[in-house]
Amino acid sequence: MKTNSTQYAPASIKQIQNTLYRERQKSKPIVHASNIADEILEVIGMLNTHPFVQQIVHRKGEVPSVMCYTNEQIVDMNHFLKSLKSPILGINRTFNMGTYYVTAIVYKTERVIRKKKKDYPIIVGPILLHKDATTATYKQFLSHIADQLGVVNEVELNMPSSSSFEFGSYDEKALTNAIEQVFPNASRRLCSKHIKDNLQFHLQNKVGLNISERTEIIEKFFGNEGLACANDTFDFEKRKHALSTLYEKYPDSKKYLETVTNRINKFVYTPKRKNDEVKLWTNNNAESANHIFKWKPKKAPELIEKLYMCINYQFINLKSSLYFSGEYELCGRYKAYSVSEQK
In this prediction, what percent of the chain has a pLDDT beyond 90? 48
Residue 196 has pLDDT above 90, yes or no: yes
Higher pLDDT, 15 or 131: 131
Range 153-175 average pLDDT: 70
Q: What's the pLDDT band for 316 if we cut at 50, 70, 90?
A: very high
Residue 19 has pLDDT above 80, yes or no: no
Of the candidates 16, 87, 18, which has an alpha carbon nearest to the alpha carbon of residue 281? Answer: 87
Rounded CA separation 158/37 (Å)? 40
Q: Are 112 and 318 in contact (CB under 8 A)?
A: yes
Q: What's the pLDDT band for 35 if we cut at 50, 70, 90?
A: confident
Range 245-271 average pLDDT: 91
Q: What's the pLDDT band for 285 if we cut at 50, 70, 90?
A: low
Residue 316, Cβ neighbours under 10 Å: how many? 12
Q: What is the pTM of this model?
A: 0.78
- In this predicted model, what pLDDT tens digit does every residue of 239-249 receive, in sequence order? 999 998 888 88
pLDDT value at residue 82 = 87
Residue 101 has pLDDT above 80, yes or no: yes
Residue 89 has pLDDT above 70, yes or no: yes
Q: Which phi-psi region, left, alpha or beta, contains residue 197 (left: φ > 0; alpha: ψ -120 to 50)?
A: alpha
Rounded CA separation 209/181 (Å)? 39
Q: What's the pLDDT band for 32 if we cut at 50, 70, 90?
A: very low
pLDDT value at residue 99 = 72
Quick one: 117 exposed, middle or buried, by C-beta within 10 A (0-12, 13-18, 19+)? exposed
Residue 154 has pLDDT above 50, yes or no: no
Residue 33 has pLDDT above 70, yes or no: no
Higher pLDDT, 312 or 8: 312
Range 294-303 average pLDDT: 76
